[in-house]
Amino acid sequence: MKDYSNYSLLKHNTFGMDVKAKRYVEYNSEEELQQLILTLEGDVLHIGGGSNLLFKDDYAGTVLHSAILGIELTDENEDEVLVRVGAGVVWDDFVAWAVARGYGGVENLSLIPGEVGASAVQNIGAYGAEAKDVIALVEAVDLQSGEKRCFGVAECDYAYRQSIFKKGLRGKYAITYVTYRLQKHPVLKLEYGNIKAMLADKANVTIADVRQAIIDIRNAKLPDPKVQGNAGSFFMNPVVSHEKFLSLQKDYPQMPFYEVEGGVKIPAGWMIEQCGWKGKSLGRAGVHDKQALVLVNLGGATSEEIITLCNTICCDVKEKFGIDIHPEVNLV
């Protein structure tokens, strides 16, 4: 176990904010976590890879990080495997592991930054796939009592970028293991965006090809946090009523949209671009020039600069489209 006081979080947030935690603890097992819980005082923040966070200031409590590792095949039948993965495993290492063995279900989620624990909190999603589609079981420890609890996927209450761990049970549990259900005879998901077009000249497309296509798309569109601080999509895509959508479509017939449960999802990146923000900046906070949903630290930006840019964009989108957009990134 690593246990530090006054610890710099610079390497633990992809926005590159140089803030400190009063205490920072990294644990290697459920038992270590349970011991550690007895010593916790004040506020507690559990982080993963820090790829969906914006620290506004130093953190005056304890920051916890899981280093529970391991990928283990726990069950299988003709069609499926169950794979139990430690919350601290880097998400894309798990995807690479699955793809190398021919197990399908997570290849569309290639190269998403962050760790396995966060995949179950955020219900990460990309290119027509979501974590909830492959999660079978989530193991977690109550951060108050230290008791262990297992959540079946239905109990996790998953929706677009939502789960019980972000709502009713926010901050109450630390996820320790996630068990995924993967397919031995993968059914490829090629419908989103230009994936099919990118693979058009391949004869027998495999999940490894899909993974490579998605890596190429992401690398072309999304900034590398090692080069330019960012936290991926800064905003969630809003879902509007059919009525609102139809009235907008009259004014913007070229507007992209996706029919979803409860309404129509409008890409916030498109609206931000229409407002003229793509590639623009305010101070040292910028809007990525290839994907307007992503805010970037142009170098030395303060959290205030990022938040000012965020608020200005929200106001402009509201004024032009009459739609409220909200950050996906957690402001701490």
Closest CB to ligand EPU among 117 and 267? Answer: 267
Smallest gap from Cβ 43 to ligand EPU, in A, equals 26
328: annotated active-site residue: yes
CB atoms under 10 Å from CB of 182, counted, come to: 24
**Residue 36 tokens, joined:** 């550690």
CB of 172 to ligand EPU, least distance (A): 24
Report, in Å, the least distance between residue 112 CB and ligand EPU. Answer: 7
Distance in angstroms (rounded) separating the CA atoms of residues 180 and 175: 14
Look up 23 and say whether it is catalytic: no
Tokens of 329: 């990134």
Q: Which of these is catalytic: 51, 66, 110, 233?
A: 233
Please identify which of the residues 84, 101, 149, 161 carries the catalytic annotation. 161
> What whole-number distance in Å separates Cα of residue 96 and Cα of residue 103?
10
Q: Provide the token pair at 163.
A: 């789960």
| 21 versus 117: smaller Cβ distance to ligand EPU | 117
CA distance 189 to 36: 42
Three-state SS at 271: helix
Compute the least distance from the CB of residue 143 to ligand EPU, in Å: 25
Q: In the block, which residue shows the tokens 């905003």?
A: 235
Interface residues with ligand EPU (CB under 6 A)?
A: 126-127, 192-193, 222, 232-233, 236-237, 256, 267, 269-270, 273, 278, 291-293, 328
Tokens, residue 261: 């449960």
Nearer to ligand EPU, 15 or 177 (CB): 15
Is residue 233 part of the annotated active site? The answer reads yes
Nearer to ligand EPU, 177 or 270 (CB): 270
Place of tokens 């304890």: 62
Active site residues: 161, 233, 328
